[in-house]
Amino acid sequence: MTSTLTPVRSKRSALTKGQLPKYAPYVVLAAALIAGAAILALVGFNAFGWGIVSAILFAVGLVSWSAAVEGSRKAKDKLATCLVVGSFLIALLPLISVIWTVLVNGIPGLLAPGFMTTSMNGVTGVFDNRAVEDGAPVIGGIYHALLGTIQITLLATIISVPVGLLTSIYLVEYGNDGRLARAITFFVDVMTGIPSIVAGLFAAAFFFAVVGPGTKTGAVAAVALSVLMIPVVVRSSEEMLKIVPNELREAAYALGVRKWRTILKVVIPTAISGIASGVTLAIARVIGETAPILVTAGFATSINSNVFGGWMASLPTFIYTQILNPTSPANPDPSSQRAWGAALVLIILVMVLNLAARLIARIFAPKAGR
């Protein structure tokens, strides 16, 4: 390069003139961390404040250095990069904080003896007072709530999957993008936005009108959850059916296969991995819903294995009632311990379902190689 030929060694290449050196961000970061620690040491050190102050100092330092050396356009670019990366880091804070809080508070509850295998039947404030005052173990568990959640979600799945899958088949195979198909697509989208509590109120109002006022059972809750679940199933199955290659359908028709047999034997098996993963995600979405169950199934403290009769507990409503109405109002700690334990179980359930959806999509995906 020409720069090596010039007698003045310190002169930089014309191509990189007016640019910050590559190490600039690291230098500014180190300076910002040290300065941040110094400032925080004056007002009382804490790690969170250190991170915030250092991040601000880093952005200000890098941008003003860049403005001095590179000019305002590059400085604006640096500022935008800092803001964008910063917003991503800010978005991660609540995620880390929520998971950390649930883990720290939930593990003692989860490890309490009988937490997974007993219900709250007969557990009164007396036991909780004794647990706080005399150090007796916290009794009572989530068995009834877990059972209720599984039953309600299962029934909701049984209702939603056929309806959702058939609707998506109609939209893709029979609808021909006609007026009805477009109306269904539009209203499915609108249904996605129904507030969960309104879905609960609908199921409650429906059963109040049909069966009788005050009807609250697991089945009512399952209907409420189906209202939330059907649009999710329709959307995901529709996407999956759409990407089945048309050649497969035409090959089947050319062999003289009827349309319904083509759909059942060719189209759905090709798309089944995507459909199954969509359904799993839909289950993961509704399993954590609280509000619709609260207004439709009430809350029970004992085991109820009949979905069609009597109030029923579920994990989310269990958490809600244990926090809002502790078993012993004088000593809410055992109740909140149980609530956090249940929250941990619920989060694990949802995460497992999410992971399962990804695995299903990957394992059962149609083989691409020919």
Residues 243-262 that bind other proteins (CB under 8 A): 258-261
- Contact call for residue 67 and other proteins (CB under 8 A): no
Nearest to other proteins of 113, 178 (CB atom): 178
Residues 267-306 that bind other proteins (CB under 8 A): 284, 287-291, 294-295, 298-299
Residues 6-45 that bind other proteins (CB under 8 A): none
Only one of the segments 114-122, 136-144, 235-243, 314-322 lies at the binding site for other proteins (rule: CB under 8 A); that segment is 314-322
* Pairwise CA distance, residues 110 & 105, whole Å: 9
* Pairwise CA distance, residues 244 & 267, whole Å: 7
Helix then strand count (H, E) for the chain reads: 15, 0
Tell the burial category of 91 from Cβ atoms under 10 Å away from its Cβ (0-12, 13-18, 19+): exposed
CA distances from 225 to 30, 122, 128, 299 (A): 52, 29, 33, 16
If you compute the radius of gyration of the chain from its CA atoms, what whole number of angstroms results?
29
Only one of the segments 9-17, 51-59, 236-244, 318-326 lies at the binding site for other proteins (rule: CB under 8 A); that segment is 318-326
By CB under 8 A, the count of residues binding other proteins is 96
The closest of 146, 139, 145, 148 to 335, measured between CA atoms, is 139
Residues 180-219 that bind other proteins (CB under 8 A): 180-181, 183-184, 186-199, 201-202, 204-206, 208-209, 213-214
Q: Closest distance between other proteins and the C-beta of residue 167, in Å?
A: 4
CA dihedral sign of residues 49, 50, 56, 57: positive
Nearest to other proteins of 138, 184 (CB atom): 184
Q: Closest distance between other proteins and the C-beta of residue 209, in Å?
A: 6
Q: Closest distance between other proteins and the C-beta of residue 279, in Å?
A: 15
- What element of type H or E holds 338? helix 333-363
- Contact call for residue 46 and other proteins (CB under 8 A): no
Q: Closest distance between other proteins and the C-beta of residue 204, in Å?
A: 8
Task: Kindly state the DSSP code that residue 332 receives in the 8-state scheme.
Answer: -
